[in-house]
Chains A and B, each alone.
Chain A
Amino acid sequence: MKKLRKKVYLTAGYNTISFGSGRKEFHPKKARPGLEDYIKEAGKGVIAQINDGNNIDEGIISNFMAARFCKQANLAALIPTVHPSLEYKPCTRVEGACGSGGLALFTSVKSICSDISDVVLTIGVEIQNTVKAIYGADILAGAGHYLSERKNGHAYFFPAKFSDRAGACYDKFGYDYMRKSMALWYKQAIENARKNPKAQEYHNSIEDLFAAGMTPPNPKVFVDHLNIYDCSKVSDGASALIFASEEGLKKIRVDKKDAVEVVGFGTAVADLTKQPEDLTKLTTTQRAVQKAFEMSGLGPKDIGVLEVHDCFTVGGILSLEAAGFAKYGEGATFVAGGKTNIGGEVPTNATGGLVGFGHYVGGTGVRQAVDCVHQLTGKAGDNQVKFNPQRPYAMMISMGGNDRTVTAMVFKRAD
């Protein structure tokens, strides 16, 4: 599909707190909300912003590994717990590892475009604090190719995958050059998160963030080329919003000023059984973004708010290059020049991104879309970006696994 055959809107976004270590109220041994609590909170948070929950035609839920983290599958059938009218309506669960949320957006757009539904409730959720991080690493490793990679993989499987990418970047572009930029990425992520009461790093009180980010990696206890500050944390949380057609918006009586419009999207997957061709490049991300730009007829110069998938600081920097905001090898310069800051050229991850806001894996893509809606409708609170009139669009990139399953989407204010 080169162009959208009808208008697709997003509205009524809601994020729960991203819960886990770092939040003052978190204690691993204390009872805390579970899978269903998060689904309900996010879903009801959306319904509270629309006229009537009965107008929802369909539910889409994205999640990665509730079957292992919570011993619960068949999540589509949990959507009716949000609102009684959803009982017997069509609901679907989608999965694409850390890119699950992106696939939920993609699936929702398809549903509207195919005329099957006018109003879709889209939810993304993950609960990870049910197991210790060392066992969570086993579960998350399912985003890689189990048969060919797990046995020889690292105890911290995914950090090691991006550690290898960081190592390749150190070799090619220099350790100091990359490390400084990764530390700055961390600093920016935390500073943004401190302004968002729902962010996992909202309570972060580290005085010298840059110094923390510069901590040399310790391969004896962790991975070769990343420190813990380079990594997003273990998070519980959910996000949800509404996808609607023109008709749908009317049904739920949402004014267009409270909605955004999809202007382009792209989804791409790469063969999971193969290794990335070049560790210094996110080639699948590049393809997905390219498609989104082609459909929208836009380019990096038009984007005023960006959400990238920084599960690791180095991933954030490489995303900037893959999406064309910086040239190959110059992502670190782009970050060091302050261009991703709130007041910079392309404000990126304004609520803290995965490193700062948190990363409830299967819900993150939905969270990114919610944040784009909030930014474009002026509801981003202390994280609000003042849009450059030359750059009125927002873009999000949701990446699954080691750059295997990627969805990019571009939005504008609805008119």
Chain B
Amino acid sequence: MNFDEKLRNISVIGAAGKMGSGIALLLAGEMARLKNLPQNRDFKYRLNLIDINDDALDGLMKYLKEQLVKAGEKTTVMLRDLYKDREDLVENYDVIDQFVEDALSVIRVGTDLNMVNDSKVIFEAVIENKDLKVDLLKKIDRLCGKDTIYLTNTSSIPIHVLNNEANLDGRIIGFHFYNPPAVQKLAELIATDKTKQELKDFSQELAKRLRKTIVPSNDIAGFIGNGHFLRDGLYAISEVKRLAPQYTLPGAIYIINKISQDLLVRPMGIFQLIDYVGVDVYQCISETVNSYIEGENLKDDLLEKMVEKKVLGGQRVDGSQKDGFLKYDKGRPAGVYDLDSGTYKMFDPAGWTGELDKKIGEYPKGFYAWRQLLADPKREEKLKEYFKNLKVSNTLGANLALAYLKRSKEIGNQLVQSGVAKSAEDVNNVLLNGFYHIYGPINNYI
């Protein structure tokens, strides 16, 4: 069975989740394209989207329709070519509509696992729980033939553990998308020593079709992406704890979130990012990775307390941000959670946050926000100049940022030394393509 044949029937398990829905979107688009190619017009295409949450499946269809329209609007040049023989499709509007209709028509949604029956490719994107994943994989493997291949979106559980416990005999590979899958260019590919060559080849081709950049990671819990993100976040929390006696806990969270966005020139502050991922998801990743890695503490009680209090962040079905470490107003941070009182302390530029801004100090000369540099052809030059000035700034903010950058670099190097990543370049590529950073952690700026 060649690549295109395998793509005729795919199932996504956990399809209504944040990652599952994004993967479904990418696959539906590619299947719509394939079924319109002259050589494929006689074949049936099916994308089975399965989730235990029936309500969420309603939201999924709405999400997919909206996102497919956007995808069509961005690829109209290609779509006009795809539909060039259709005399009835003349305007961009006609072509985009047809694409959305074609993509939606391959989709079947449901809560019944039996829907996987005829699939030769299974995407697994359920929550980060090893036992659940193993149980599902076993069930599916009984329903499908032994020629079925599995791509798991796990971001932390070692693939060999899933392979061994579910008896998949090398038919599983880690294919880790980044959030949101439709936007982030990265896919981390994690093969085990048992993974079949055919599956590795399939994954490479699939990544190409979905326009993703592959970075290989070794099969060590957390892989490269979460290997960095987890330690980076835990460092931030340790800094918060260090600063809390002087600035209070909300104050310290405010400071570290701010410097990790602005002075590190990242797309969002570290606590905003943890909220974006979900505090509970982050905590779960932390527990999982900690259970597989020896000689390093990768847990923190602050995370546990937040989860206990059900302050979880994450997103609503419509994509809006829920409150976590920070409170959000129209998607922008507007307050900080105070663990003691269980309430949010709202930002007040004329009051306490204004005071903290003064303490953080003036930003170094040559400072640009992340967004300003994103598409700047002279970005590298400007970053170099900025970081040079940061090093001699000697403000509270600059010192915290410098220490943070050093730790981030150290984490990157540690991932290479411990064999998780093959090279510094791979680490940098993960942060650039999966986290939207504009420079890699392993750099010569610091």
Residues of A within 8 A of B (CB): 132, 134-135, 137-138, 141, 150-152, 154-156, 207-208, 211, 219-222
Q: With CB as the reference atom, state the residue of chain A lying closest to B377.
A: A211
Return B434 CB to nearest CB of chain A, in Å. Answer: 22
* Pairs A–B under 8 Å by Cβ, sample size 16: A134-B73, A134-B76, A134-B92, A134-B96, A135-B92, A137-B92, A138-B91, A138-B93, A141-B91, A151-B87, A151-B90, A155-B92, A208-B377, A208-B378, A220-B77, A222-B77
A69 to B325, CA, bound (A): 44
A222 to B73, CA, bound (A): 12
Return A140 CB to nearest CB of chain B, in Å. Answer: 11
A211: chain B residues at CB < 8 Å are: 377
Is the beta-carbon distance between B77 and A221 smaller than 8 angstroms?
A: yes
Is the beta-carbon distance between A155 and B80 smaller than 8 angstroms?
A: yes
A155 to B72, CA, bound (A): 11
Q: With CB as the reference atom, state the residue of chain B lying closest to A222.
A: B77
Return B67 CB to nearest CB of chain A, in Å. Answer: 15
Interface flags for B152-189 (1: CB within 8 Å of A; 0: not) read: 00000000000000000000000000000000000000
Q: Number of B interface residues at 8 Å Cβ cutoff, please give it.
A: 14
Beyond A132-B73, A134-B73, A211-B377, whether A154 also contacts B91 by CB under 8 A is: no
A141 to B90, CA, bound (A): 11
A169 to B64, CA, bound (A): 44
A141: chain B residues at CB < 8 Å are: 91
A135 to B76, CA, bound (A): 10
Return B88 CB to nearest CB of chain A, in Å. Answer: 10
A132 to B76, CA, bound (A): 13
Q: With CB as the reference atom, state the residue of chain B lying closest to A153.
A: B80
A137 to B87, CA, bound (A): 19
A155 to B378, CA, bound (A): 31
Is the beta-carbon distance between B77 and A138 smaller than 8 angstroms?
A: no
Is the beta-carbon distance between B77 and A154 smaller than 8 angstroms?
A: yes
B369-404, CB < 8 A from A? 377-378
**Max chain A CB contacts within 10 Å: which of B73, B90, B92, B93?**
B92
A134 to B96, CA, bound (A): 10
A134: chain B residues at CB < 8 Å are: 73, 76, 92, 96
A391 to B93, CA, bound (A): 49
Is the beta-carbon distance between B77 and A155 smaller than 8 angstroms?
A: yes
B378: chain A residues at CB < 8 Å are: 207-208
B377: chain A residues at CB < 8 Å are: 208, 211
Q: With CB as the reference atom, state the residue of chain A lying closest to B88.
A: A151
Q: With CB as the reference atom, state the residue of chain B lying closest to A147.
A: B90
Return A30 CB to nearest CB of chain B, in Å. Answer: 13
Return B82 CB to nearest CB of chain A, in Å. Answer: 12
A331 to B90, CA, bound (A): 36
11 additional A-B pairs beyond A141-B91, A155-B80, beta carbons within 8 Å, are A134-B76, A138-B91, A151-B87, A154-B80, A155-B76, A155-B77, A155-B92, A207-B378, A208-B377, A219-B77, A220-B77
Is the beta-carbon distance between A138 and B87 smaller than 8 angstroms?
A: no
Q: Give the 3 A-B CB pairs with smallest separation, nearest first.
A: A155-B76, A138-B91, A155-B77
A222 to B74, CA, bound (A): 10
**Max chain B CB contacts within 10 Å: which of A132, A141, A155?**
A155
Interface flags for B194-210 (1: CB within 8 Å of A; 0: not) read: 00000000000000000
B90: chain A residues at CB < 8 Å are: 150-151
A152 to B91, CA, bound (A): 10
A315 to B378, CA, bound (A): 30
A141 to B93, CA, bound (A): 12
B59-87, CB < 8 A from A? 73, 76-77, 79-80, 84, 87
Return A169 CB to nearest CB of chain B, in Å. Answer: 22
A154: chain B residues at CB < 8 Å are: 77, 80
Return B77 CB to nearest CB of chain A, in Å. Answer: 5
